[in-house]
């Protein structure tokens, strides 16, 4: 029987002298005067385990196959290490080659690879220092997110992935069908497709957001959150957009935009602190390799107040900046990445929450302000990334919501149940969505969103 085994992270805690077995994938092998020094890693922590094999401990034909990428198991004894930068190492007594990785063909040799090259080998990039660190951080943040909400009594709700409603009313949805594309059924006497023959008897899509369904749960369980995959069929080939990404969406009854902003700020600071407390070796690597101010910035953000400004004020700052914008700003225009970055990186030098956007550029469900022009929206903008959270107080008044659905040209009958929530037991409520990958980018300093998700989906790319 082969059983789950002590990881290298656990081996590092063994007392010197302990007999043990280590296993993992070879990072490097160095030979000196017949002694073999092999570094292995099993993904459990950033540090590699150094294994020292005395001359003659392993047959020559076996050690020749202990090359980068090979999988090995070594029996031996943990000893204090004379080498710099590691407290202990394994004095190996017997080595078993579990899986060779011929150097002529294994794509990830010892040399440093750039991130674009590594993206071509998504099935091996996981063994590199960078992606080991990225996915350990991603794992820790996932846990921190659940911990944050569970500690505060929020209910975790699983909203549907296959859906028949457009949560953002923006139409950027992937359609899901089992119809024969070569032979589509038509409505009698028309060119329109007859979806009554489709799997769900009507058009269905991959969800763009779980928000509307989360509202159903908030209006029964008070404080809820989702954490799941969402899909956007926007043709955005940027370093910040994915066609499949993960989103965390808290939704709170008896809550307004003020409370929403407060939760968002507390939430982001909690995640940052948790990651610094649990992944410091990984963060130190990112700090050293990719983003020299990473840890200082994270510490600063966790300890300072976010700036909060209304959209109108943000536009005033941008207009009077003296900058030549690629996308000109005026009241009514949506903020572009360059504007968001200016506000966070130049004006405030920290995260900024922009509120009360013009209603024309925001979704139909946002609560209208008394000025008739703006809505109770908020975007949390982060330095280096731009928008990381989008949220709002929701329109809880039936007549106003109905007007907004019509004004946005959305099919009223598709939102019957959503309107019912305003007909029966309506209450002020609010929520937001955090883009999970954008958060991981912020925490790691990685500049391309494709490098913080295991299997990125972008226009033209869906490998695996």
Structure tokens at 322: 């003296």
Closest-CA residue to 119 (of 451, 461, 458, 462)? 451
CB of 360 to Mg ion, least distance (A): 14
Q: Closer to ligand 4AD at the Cβ: 168 or 282?
A: 168
Location of structure tokens 């980018």: 441
Instruction: Return the residues of window 339-378 that contact ligand 4AD according to CB under 6 A.
Output: none
Instruction: Return the residues of window 247-286 that contact ligand 4AD according to CB under 6 A.
Output: 247, 249
CB of 8 to Mg ion, least distance (A): 41
Binding site for Mg ion (CB under 5 A): 390
Which of Mg ion, ligand 4AD, none is residue 241 near (CB under 5 to 8 Å by kind)? ligand 4AD
Q: Which of 351, 383, 435, 445 binds ligand 4AD (CB under 6 A)?
A: 435
CB of 173 to Mg ion, least distance (A): 16
Q: Closer to ligand 4AD at the Cβ: 67 or 275?
A: 275
Q: Is 241 in the site for ligand 4AD (CB under 6 A)?
A: yes
CA–CA separation, 390 vs 227, rounded Å?
15
Q: Which of 69, 76, 433, 445 binds ligand 4AD (CB under 6 A)?
A: 433
Q: Which stretch binds ligand 4AD (CB under 6 A): 21-29, 104-112, 147-155, 385-393?
A: 385-393
Which of ligand 4AD, Mg ion, none is residue 69 near (CB under 5 to 8 Å by kind)? none
Strand partners, 156: 225
Q: Closer to ligand 4AD at the Cβ: 25 or 267?
A: 267
Which of Mg ion, ligand 4AD, none is residue 435 near (CB under 5 to 8 Å by kind)? ligand 4AD
CB of 377 to Mg ion, least distance (A): 9
Is-contact 66 106, C-beta < 8 A?
Answer: no
Instruction: Tell me, residue by residue from 188 to 217, as one string, x for binding to ligand 4AD by CB under 6 A and - for no binding.
Output: ---------------------x-x------
Q: Is 431 in the site for ligand 4AD (CB under 6 A)?
A: yes
Q: Closer to ligand 4AD at the Cβ: 101 or 343?
A: 343
Q: Closer to ligand 4AD at the Cβ: 108 or 144?
A: 144
Q: Closer to ligand 4AD at the Cβ: 14 or 414?
A: 414
CB of 329 to ligand 4AD, least distance (A): 19
CA–CA separation, 269 vs 263, rounded Å?
10
- How do beta strands 88-99 and 71-80 pair? antiparallel
CA–CA separation, 359 vs 377, rounded Å?
9
CB of 433 to Mg ion, least distance (A): 8
Q: Closer to Mg ion at the Cβ: 228 or 390?
A: 390
Q: Is 426 in the site for ligand 4AD (CB under 6 A)?
A: no
Q: Which of 195, 432, 440, 441 binds ligand 4AD (CB under 6 A)?
A: 432
Q: Which of 92, 228, 351, 390 binds ligand 4AD (CB under 6 A)?
A: 390
Q: Which of 388, 401, 421, 446 binds ligand 4AD (CB under 6 A)?
A: 388
Structure tokens at 94: 């017997």
Q: Closer to ligand 4AD at the Cβ: 113 or 241?
A: 241
CB of 406 to ligand 4AD, least distance (A): 20
Q: Closer to ligand 4AD at the Cβ: 127 or 359?
A: 359
CA–CA separation, 34 vs 222, rounded Å?
68
Q: Which stretch binds ligand 4AD (CB under 6 A): 97-105, 243-251, 275-283, 402-410?
A: 243-251
CB of 340 to Mg ion, least distance (A): 11
Instruction: Return the residues of window 108-167 that contact ligand 4AD according to CB under 6 A.
Output: 167
Is-contact 66 36, C-beta < 8 A?
Answer: yes
Which parts of this chain interact with ligand 4AD (CB under 6 A)? 167-168, 209, 211, 232, 241-242, 245, 247, 249, 387-392, 431-433, 435, 437-438
């Amino acid at each position: 029987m082969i059983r789950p085994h002590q990881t290298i992270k656990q081996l590092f805690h063994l007392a010197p002298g302990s007999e043990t077995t280590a296993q993992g994938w070879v990072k490097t092998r160095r030979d000196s005067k017949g002694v073999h020094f092999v570094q292995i890693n099993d993904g459990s922590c950033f540090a590699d385990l150094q294994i020292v094999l005395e001359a003659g401990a392993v047959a020559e034909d076996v050690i020749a196959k202990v090359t980068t990428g090979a999988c090995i198991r070594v029996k031996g004894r943990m000893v204090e290490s004379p080498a710099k930068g590691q407290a202990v190492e394994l004095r190996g007594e017997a080595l078993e080659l579990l899986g060779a990785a011929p150097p002529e063909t294994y794509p990830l040799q010892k040399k440093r690879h750039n991130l674009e090259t590594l993206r071509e080998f998504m099935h091996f990039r996981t063994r590199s220092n960078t992606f080991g660190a990225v996915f350990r951080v991603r794992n820790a943040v996932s846990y921190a997110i659940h911990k944050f909400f569970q500690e505060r009594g929020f209910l975790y709700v699983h909203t549907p992935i296959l859906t028949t409603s457009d949560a953002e009313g923006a139409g950027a949805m992937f359609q899901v069908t089992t119809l024969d594309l070569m032979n589509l059924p038509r409505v009698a006497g028309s060119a329109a497709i007859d979806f009554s023959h489709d799997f769900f008897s009507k058009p269905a899509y991959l969800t763009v957001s779980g928000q509307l369904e989360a509202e159903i749960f908030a209006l029964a369980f008070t404080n809820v959150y989702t954490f799941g995959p969402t899909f956007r069929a926007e043709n955005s080939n940027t370093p910040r957009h994915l066609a499949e990404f993960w989103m965390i969406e808290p939704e709170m009854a008896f809550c307004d935009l003020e409370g929403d902003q407060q939760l968002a700020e507390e939430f982001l600071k909690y995640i940052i602190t948790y990651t610094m407390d649990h992944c410091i070796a990984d963060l130190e690597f990112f700090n050293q390799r990719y983003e020299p101010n990473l840890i200082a910035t994270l510490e600063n953000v966790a300890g300072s107040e976010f700036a909060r400004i209304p959209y109108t004020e943000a536009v005033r700052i941008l207009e009077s900046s003296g900058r030549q914008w690629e996308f000109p700003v005026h009241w009514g225009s949506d903020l572009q990445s360059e504007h968001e970055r200016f506000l966070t990186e130049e004006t405030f030098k920290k995260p900024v929450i922009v509120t009360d956007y013009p209603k024309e550029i925001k979704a139909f469900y946002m609560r209208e302000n008394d000025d008739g022009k703006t809505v109770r929206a908020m975007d949390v903008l982060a330095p280096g990334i731009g928008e990381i959270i989008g949220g709002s107080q929701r329109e809880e008044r039936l007549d106003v919501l109905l007007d907004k659905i019509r004004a946005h040209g959305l099919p009223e009958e598709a939102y019957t149940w959503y309107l019912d929530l305003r007909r029966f037991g309506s209450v002020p409520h609010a929520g937001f969505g955090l883009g999970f990958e954008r958060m991981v980018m912020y925490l790691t300093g990685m500049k391309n969103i494709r490098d913080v998700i295991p299997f990125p989906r972008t226009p033209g790319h869906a490998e695996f």
